[in-house]
């Protein structure tokens, strides 16, 4: 019989800088309540010139490797829509930075904000095939939109690293999940652009529609009733979206839609994303980390995870928090990663928003030092040069 498979450990990282929505609202002459109440955002993470998805991923994954060792990791699945190279996967840059094993399959996954869920599911499948092995899944992204666009207040950046194993110490991922895919143009980023193109209002309705269909598929395959879930972690391009989505699902299921019911279902799931902003494929796992790190004891409780990636693919999953999960958490470190960011002035933010592709000759040094454990120090002959402030952990025997 296949053992229970799921998340054995998870850790969060974000950029070292942030912009508050109060500063943004002031400079754009917008009512701050539009951002804080209308979108449900207080701040957004902004990467420094020496930060990218690799540095954030390394900051999230390194403590996991330090705790468990890397010797049982057979697969490294890196999900991002902010890849650093059109050919080489971002996960390979992590290899030397955090000491991953040579006998590993390292691959990148992309499907907008859904990629992390594809990586997680394929990691579960790989562990089912050989339960003595583990998989490292990383979801990391930088959400960037054009300055002065409607989407500008929904930027952000972050990474979530998860160790997937048999008999997991944090949460079991139930085998039944619901899927929905459709070829639409609600949000995309052509390879020649550094900011996304988005039809914002359409993306909101496409998201609701896709989650509804994924949930229907989940139910058709024998998945639990909405009432059997204690919490709902939604993809949060802005946290208000989770509230819209839950109201929509309750209505669709013919259940009473009250503020109390929605607030209870989403309690503690939006705290991290309110402060980080959109982290694309990491966002739904930020919601999961946020609720697991909260004071609520969810032992033995079902948690729904609703993943959406524009374009579009959606998946509705069910997780169960296992006995003793709270002892595994990294709540203090996760909160510190968010709480210790450097607040930017509006002009500092604008200068970091510039297109950060390398110079034509392929060489330049990064501007400034954000102070993170891992840095992109620059480019030499088109090669990205990373530095770690601490040496990679030597591979320990995992447990
Ligand atoms: N006080 C309180 N709330 C206010 C307000 C104020 N002064 N002014 C506006 N609001 C509310 C609006 O009523 C609206 O709430 P509602 O959606 O519950 O009705 C919310 O703030 C947003 O206002 P809206 O006018 O719709 O914002 P917008 O047109 O500037 O853009 C998005 C909103 C989401 C379309 C835009 O941010 C975007 O394109 N984001 C990127 C795409 C995205 O994140 N898509 C999500 C699915 S993937």
Contact 223, 259 (CB under 8 A): no
Q: Is 113 a catalytic residue?
A: yes
Question: How many angstroms separate the CA atoms of 323 and 319, rounded?
Answer: 13
- The two tokens of residue 114 are 């859904």
Give nearest CA residue, ligand 1 atom 36.
151
pLDDT for residue 359: 61
Residues 229, 255: Cα–Cα separation, whole Å: 13
Distance CA 218, CA 208 (A): 15
Rounded CA-CA distance 27/24 in Å is 5
**Three-state SS at 151:** coil
Q: Which atom of ligand 1 is nearest to the CA of 30?
A: 7
Which ligand 1 atom sits nearest the alpha carbon of residue 201?
35
- pLDDT at site 202: 97
Q: Give the three-class secondary structure for 19.
A: strand
Which of 173, 159, 143, 166 is closest to 289 using CA atoms? 159
Active-site option among 113, 124, 233, 312: 113
In ligand 1, the atom with minimum distance to the C-alpha of 240 is 18
The first and second tokens of residue 326, run together, are 């709270």
Low-confidence ranges of the chain (pLDDT < 50): 395-399
Contacts of residue 136, defined as CB under 8 A and 6 or more positions apart, other chains included, come to: 61, 64, 65, 70, 73, 75, 76, 77, 100, 123, 161, 162, 163, 164
Residue 361 Cα, ligand 1 centroid: separation in angstroms? 42
Tallying the residues shown for the chain, one arrives at 399
CA 278 to centroid of ligand 1, rounded, Å: 14
Q: What is the mean pLDDT of the chain?
A: 95
Residue nearest to atom 15 of ligand 1 (CA): 38
Is position 246 annotated as part of the catalytic site? no
Mutate to test the pocket of ligand 1, among 114, 150, 195 (most ligand atoms within 8 A of CB): 150
What are 373-393's pLDDT values in tens digits?
Answer: 999 999 999 999 999 998 776
Q: Please, are residues 293 and 310 in contact by the beta-carbon 8 Å criterion?
A: no
How many angstroms does the Cα of residue 38 sit away from the middle of ligand 1?
6
CA distances from 121 to 10, 71, 108, 384 (A): 15, 21, 14, 30
Per-residue CA distances from 233 to 108, 151, 384 (Å)? 24, 22, 35
Region label for 99, one of left (φ > 0), alpha (ψ between -120 and 50) or beta (otherwise): left
**Cβ-Cβ contacts under 8 Å for 346 (sequence gap 6 or more):** 19, 23, 24, 26, 27
Q: Are 314 and 179 in contact (CB under 8 A)?
A: yes
Strands 17-20 and 43-46 come out as antiparallel
* 199 CA → ligand 1 middle, Å: 12
- Ligand 1 lining (C-beta closer than 6 Å): 31, 33-34, 37-39, 150-151, 154, 187, 198, 200-201, 203-204, 207, 237-238, 241, 310
Distance separating alpha carbons of residues 288 and 283, to the nearest angstrom: 9
The superfamily in CATH containing domain 5-388 is: Thiolase/Chalcone synthase (3.40.47.10)
> Residues 21, 68, 213, 235: which is the catalytic one?
235
Name residue, tokens 């917008």. 30
Nearest residue to 243 via CA among 214, 207, 219: 207
**Residue of minimum CA distance from atom 12 in ligand 1:** 38
In sign, the C-alpha dihedral spanning 99, 105, 111, 113 is negative
């Amino acid at each position: 019989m296949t053992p229970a498979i799921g998340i054995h450990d998870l850790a969060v990282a974000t950029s070292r800088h942030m912009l508050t929505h109060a500063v943004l609202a002031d400079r754009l002459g917008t009512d701050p309540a539009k951002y804080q109440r209308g979108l449900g955002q207080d701040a957004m993470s902004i990467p420094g010139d020496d930060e990218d998805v690799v540095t954030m991923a390394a900051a999230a994954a390194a403590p996991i490797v330090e705790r468990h060792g890397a010797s049982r990791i057979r697969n490294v699945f890196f999900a991002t829509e902010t890849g650093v190279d059109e050919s080489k996967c971002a996960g390979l840059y992590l290899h030397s930075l955090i000491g991953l094993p040579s006998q590993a399959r390292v691959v990148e996954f992309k499907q907008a904000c859904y990629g992390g869920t594809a990586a997680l599911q394929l990691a579960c499948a790989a562990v089912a095939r050989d339960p003595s092995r583990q998989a490292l899944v990383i979801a990391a992204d930088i959400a960037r939109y054009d300055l002065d666009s409607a989407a500008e207040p929904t930027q952000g950046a972050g990474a979530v690293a998860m160790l997937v194993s048999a008999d997991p110490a944090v949460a079991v991922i139930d085998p039944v999940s619901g899927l929905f895919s459709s070829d639409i143009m609600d949000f995309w980023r052509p390879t020649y652009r550094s900011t996304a193109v988005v039809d914002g209002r359409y993306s909101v309705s496409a998201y609701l529609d896709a989650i509804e269909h994924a949930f229907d598929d989940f139910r058709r395959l024998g998945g639990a009733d909405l009432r059997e879930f204690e919490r709902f972690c939604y993809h949060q391009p802005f946290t208000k979206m989770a509230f819209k989505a839950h109201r929509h699902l309750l209505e669709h299921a013919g259940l009473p839609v009250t503020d109390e019911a929605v607030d209870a279902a989403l309690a503690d799931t939006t705290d991290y994303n309110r402060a980080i902003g959109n982290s694309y494929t990491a966002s739904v796992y930020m919601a999961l980390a946020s609720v697991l790190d909260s004071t609520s004891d969810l032992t033995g409780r079902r948690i729904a995870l609703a993943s959406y990636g524009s374009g579009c693919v959606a998946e509705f999953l069910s997780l169960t928090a296992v006995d003793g999960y709270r002892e595994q958490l990294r709540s203090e470190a996760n909160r510190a990663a968010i709480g210790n960011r450097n607040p930017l002035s509006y002009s500092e933010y604008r200068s970091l928003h510039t297109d950060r592709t390398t110079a034509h000759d392929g060489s330049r040094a990064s501007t400034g030092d954000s102070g993170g454990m891992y840095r992109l120090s620059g480019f030499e002959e088109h090669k990205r040069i990373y530095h770690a402030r601490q040496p990679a952990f030597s591979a320990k025997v995992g447990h």
